[in-house]
Structure 1
Amino acid sequence: MHVPDGFFDAPTSVGTAVVAVAGVAVALRRSSRELDERTAPLAGLVAVFIFAAQLLNFPVGAGTSGHLLGGALAAILVGPWTATLCMTVVLTVQSLLFADGGVTALGTNITLMAIVGVWVGWGVFVLLRRLAGPSRPALVAPLAGVAAFVSVPATALAFTLLYAVGGRADIPLDALATAMVGWHSLIGLGEAAITTLAVGTVLATRPDLVHGARGLASARPLEIRAVNA
């Protein structure tokens, strides 16, 4: 999913860079509404987890590769604005220090994974939560998994659309679309399982830290039990 240098033409790269800068600028202003002294450490852990998860790359044909994204997971745990910032930090470090994604394509990668991936995942989760009913916290984890699944092929589809507009690589569009959307649908199953497990684990211990469950559950009260001598 990481776009290398030269994969898109200059107008497309510049256009996505503008979208990325605007998106990150708004996220910097809005993320303060999501973060506090309790959730800020979780945001750091989420960024580290996504960085590690994205190190697993799978060849999907047509000269491209796929990997876990983590955008929906981040959005549901720490909020979509903070998730956009977490993903942006991860993608920037990968590009500048690990040559994973081109430097000139950084704006494209941020647009695809930190904006499209995060907000599609969050939008699907919010929609499903409303349809399921606002007072059912037990459904938060499975709904998060569904949202994560949808976000992965959706991001792959956005990648394909960008290629149709300004792709420079010598790859047939139909072959690229089939490989990217098809394989990323399979990768989405793994993303769904990991997201469901991660969100469910945090919900079981500190539901108050899960942004997607705010208003549905509160922190477990401290229990003091007498110990018989």
Structure 2
Amino acid sequence: MDRGPRRSHAGAPPSAVAGSNGWPTVTSPDRPPSGIRGVRYGAIARHADSRGAFRELWRASSFGPLEPGAAGAAAGIEPRFVQANLSTSAPGVLRGLHLHRRQLDYWVVGAGRALAALVDVRPLLDGTGDRPIVETRELGADDWVVIPVGVAHGFLALDALELIYLVTNEYDGSDELGFAWDDPAAGVPWPAVHETADGRPILSDRDRANPPLRDLVARLPG
């Protein structure tokens, strides 16, 4: 019986759509849905002319309520974005796989391309399943993804990459968890990179030292 990770296949992104006031919305209702509960994809619209361009990154009324984690839901806490970050990565850099128990992420690609990998480990933590759900999707400039609490995430920079991300918790080192990017228990289908002689991605010391998924799950409460 196959006990490998379950895979969710996501399609190509459509164009963003305009709102009723003529400005862009940040939602794309015709975008293929995710196979992971709580994950949402979309694209922002770019208004460009000879001077440059304008992009609206986020609008609360377009998104509606953000999904709380289990702890937040139990406490009746409605999540909101409290910190915004900008990450730049050279081609061939892989960041991940990272996991938060108290933080929802909203990523927007400012420039470049990335292969985003999402690994839903909630079934392992709450005892409802014995394997994670894995989904990958290529994201380009103006694409966005919402990543709920309990869904591990990482990305491989396919080009020089600028990634903007809004989060629902200020930085908290105790919630910066992770597991090995190439753990076969997750089985993320990362492509070989062209920037290194051995085809392996460029990693931080932290990501290089991440433990196996089973070790991380064993030390976390359900």
Say yes or no: TM over 0.5.
Answer: no
Normalised to the residue count of structure 2, the TM-score between the two structures is 0.32
Of structures 1 and 2, the larger Rg is shown by 1
**Structure 1 or 2: more strand by fraction:** 2
Normalised to the residue count of structure 1, the TM-score between the two structures is 0.31
Higher relative contact order (CA 8 A, sep 6+): 1
